[in-house]
A = this chain, B = another copy of it.
Amino acid sequence: MNNTSIVLASRPKGMPTAEQFRFVTAEAPTAQAGQVLLKTLYVSVDPYMRGRMNEGKSYVPPFAVGEALNGGVVAEVVESQHEQYPVGTAVVGHLEWREYNVSDGRGLQAIPTDAAPLSYFLGLLGMPGLTAYFGLLDICRPQPGETVVVSGAAGAVGTVVGQLAKLHGARVVGTAGSDEKVVYLKEQLGFDEAINYKTAPDIKRAIAAACPSGVDCYFDNVGGPISDAVYGLLNKHARIALCGQISSYNATETPVGPRPEVKLLQSSALMKGFIVSDYAARNPEGIQALLTWYKEGKLQFEETVVDGFEQIPNAFLGLFRGENTGKQLVRVAEYSGQR
């Protein structure tokens, strides 16, 4: 049985291209004592992975050149010599970009096959949903009637942030990169305002017009000129959750912009960077809350799914072209459930 993997061929300078990825095919491994063989079902591609393609510290250690890339994967146990994970178990974990992975079970989490679509454990009930949950509720702490701005609003994190802010009684304004996304945010997810930052003639004015009472909370996935516009509108004691800075991930030098410190000073505002693993101890609470709201019909979750293991690099690159609405996934195989 063949096993294709994707390795980092070279480190990108600026925007990555297909050349950074190399497909390698070898014989599939088998499960030894204490191990399982996992068949990849869904692979998550995420903006944060761009940082890991560089040398040096980012959120997490860098990918190694010549080694398989890795990230969030939903898989099915197809061979088992591990009591806890019998054949047919669906799992989520941090795995390599291979059609088949061998694991000793460390870091794997068995997931129910009837609670929600399995892929949701890479989205609403996984890293992006938990990122939205902790960043919004622990750092921004929106109060009823407050104005919440979320950048990258149509992405996997942003769509959850906006809906959670609405659930907490806030007025929600999102920025996104296409008219289709703007319509989706307003009509499907109930955002009060949404702005296409690519076509707005003046992003500063557009955000100011959408926030007539100023900004109390800002959940930032993007950075750059959108943030500069928001910083000018901060109300006293505003809270900013720094979740991502996708606008700068492909920059080759530190981007320069207007210094935000005086704005934060004038409004006694808080700005806090975070990564979902800061809250790892509270993951069960977050998953439970998100699952409950989902089952009650209070949270929707959109996925952009492409089919085929060979599509992974392109799906990743598409993140930086803004091609996804909600969570970008690659479906590699269907869950069989065979025991």
Contact = CB atoms under 8 A, between A and B. Distances in A.
A48 B276 CA distance: 38
Contacts of A273: 261, 264-270
A266 B220 contact: no
Interface of A: 57-59, 220, 223-224, 227, 237, 242-245, 248, 254-262, 264-275, 278
A270 B267 contact: no
A126 to B, nearest CB: 20
Copies of this chain held together in the complex: 2
Contacts of A59: 265-266
A261 B58 contact: no
A262 B245 contact: yes
Contacts of A223: 259, 261-262
Nearest to A231: B254
Given A256-B256, A256-B257, A259-B256, A244 B265 contact: yes
Contacts of A245: 259, 261-262, 265
Given A255-B259, A259-B248, A272 B275 contact: no
B244 A254 contact: no
B274 A268 contact: yes
Nearest to A139: B270
A90 B59 CA distance: 56
A18 to B, nearest CB: 26
